[in-house]
Amino acid sequence: MPVNFTHSALLLSLMLSVGQAQALSQPGPNALATANGIPHPAVIAHRGASFDAPESTAAAYKLARDLGADYLELDLQRSKDGVLFALHDDNLQRTTDVASKFPERKDSPANAFTLAELKTLDAGSWFNSAYPDRARPAYAGLKILTLDEVIDIAQGNPLHKPGLYIETKEPQQFPGIERDLKDKLQDRGWLSPAGSKLAKSELSVGQGKGKVVLQTFDKNSLQMLHKEMPQVPKILLLWIAEGSIEPKSKVKFAESGDKDKATFYARQQPKDNAAFEQWVNDAKALGAIGTGPSATLTHLGDQSYANLVQPWMNQYTHDQGLLVHAYTIDENVDFKKVMDAGVDGIFTNRASELLKYYQRPTTGSVAQLLERNGY
């Protein structure tokens, strides 16, 4: 009937206008990233180019830098004598020869070692044994790096200056690490405003407003990072477990009967939508500009976790005005899945592949760049 039709059409048009106004009033993820000096979509080299070279070493970080990654990702710890350094695991067993150099202390946390002790360790040979097809003689004897040394690498290529994407790892083990990090970044000029003579369009990531991104799984650490460095973009990493996003099932891996952790993680779901949304809301309230959710990988593996990049999750996060940087993804099939689901950047061990996927140029092949750097 004409009258009802007219009313319906008017109502529809009104609803559309309200929706459009809401959409326009909130910057989209691309604009939000740009406002923070963060490329969109972002290539975050997870522990460096750690598929091709031993993680968190000079070989991996120089390769990621020279490939053209936007960010060098690192997990931050503090040595017994107070020096900030890059290492993922709590202890040194998987990625060094601590068992032969310090047999009686091989299970000790990395933070029980002085920097001088850490520097005696070989952080490269394990890679040659674990991945013989990617092994290189020059990886043997690579060292654990201090934050200062990672900064030197980030600044070391005049043609491409990546930013740093720094995680406070197990921050409850390192009281005050947020302040230590601020002091170091300040000393090194990494907290200064862009201040470059270059035009905005010519600024590298590592020279602009988003030159450092801070990340953590720990809400207390996020709060402290925000207090120390309110102007620096921050990401709250997301995980399903008791103490993190509340899981639907309370069954632990050991009791699950699953054959490996990846299978177990792939079945993990938040208890309900609200349990997921709570962490996004907390991220925003504590000063984050985005979240870092885990992803389930098509071929599973050691870095396949719960699927926290479902389209509704990314949409909800965007609706709160936050970005989504997903971890840790290495294959085209999964790059496509998570990009289609709406993420704004990817942590990857294979920066070379992600850059190709985004059709971004690189200055050489992995082998060429490794050789150029002496590996």
Interface residues with Ca ion (CB under 5 A) are: 75, 167
Least CB distance to ligand G3P at residue 348 (A): 10
Which of 61, 276, 316, 327 lies at the binding interface for ligand G3P (CB under 6 A)? 327
Which of 144, 237, 308, 351 lies at the binding interface for ligand G3P (CB under 6 A)? 237
Q: Indicate the residue among 55 and 66 with the shorter CB distance to ligand G3P.
A: 55
Pairing of strands 163-168, 71-78: parallel
Given Ca ion, ligand G3P, none, residue 234, with its beta carbon under 5 to 8 Å by kind, binds none
Least CB distance to ligand G3P at residue 237 (A): 6
Which of 71, 264, 347, 375 lies at the binding interface for ligand G3P (CB under 6 A)? 347
Residue nearest to ligand G3P (CB): 327
- Say whether residue 75 binds ligand G3P (CB under 6 A): yes
Least CB distance to Ca ion at residue 18 (A): 41
C-alpha–C-alpha distance, residues 160 and 162, integer Å:
6
- Say whether residue 85 binds ligand G3P (CB under 6 A): no
Distances (CA, A) of 310 to 236, 296, 306, 307, 315: 17, 10, 10, 7, 9
Q: Name residue, tokens 């600044």.
A: 155
Q: Indicate the residue among 236 and 369 with the shorter CB distance to ligand G3P.
A: 236
- Say whether residue 330 binds ligand G3P (CB under 6 A): no
- Say whether residue 234 binds ligand G3P (CB under 6 A): no
CB atoms within 10 A of CB 164: 24
Instruction: Tell me whether residue 7 is one of the annotated catalytic residues.
Output: no
Instruction: Tell me whether residue 299 is one of the annotated catalytic residues.
Output: no
Q: What b/e string do you get for 122-149 counting C-beta neighbours within 10 Å, with b at 16 or more?
A: bbbbbbbeeeeeebbebbeebbbbbbeb
Nearest to 348 by CA among 59, 124, 72: 72
Q: Indicate the residue among 215 and 373 with the shorter CB distance to Ca ion.
A: 215
Q: Which of 7, 40, 46, 160 is catalytic?
A: 46
Given ligand G3P, Ca ion, none, residue 237, with its beta carbon under 5 to 8 Å by kind, binds ligand G3P
Least CB distance to ligand G3P at residue 74 (A): 9
Q: Indicate the residue among 348 and 373 with the shorter CB distance to ligand G3P.
A: 348
Q: Which of 7, 40, 88, 226 is catalytic?
A: 88
Q: Indicate the residue among 104 and 242 with the shorter CB distance to ligand G3P.
A: 242
C-alpha–C-alpha distance, residues 276 and 212, integer Å:
26
Q: Encoding tokens for residue 137? A: 């003689």
Q: Indicate the residue among 36 and 215 with the shorter CB distance to ligand G3P.
A: 215
Enumerate the active-site residues. 46, 88
Q: Which residues bind ligand G3P (CB under 6 A)?
A: 46, 75, 88, 167, 215, 237, 292, 327-328, 347
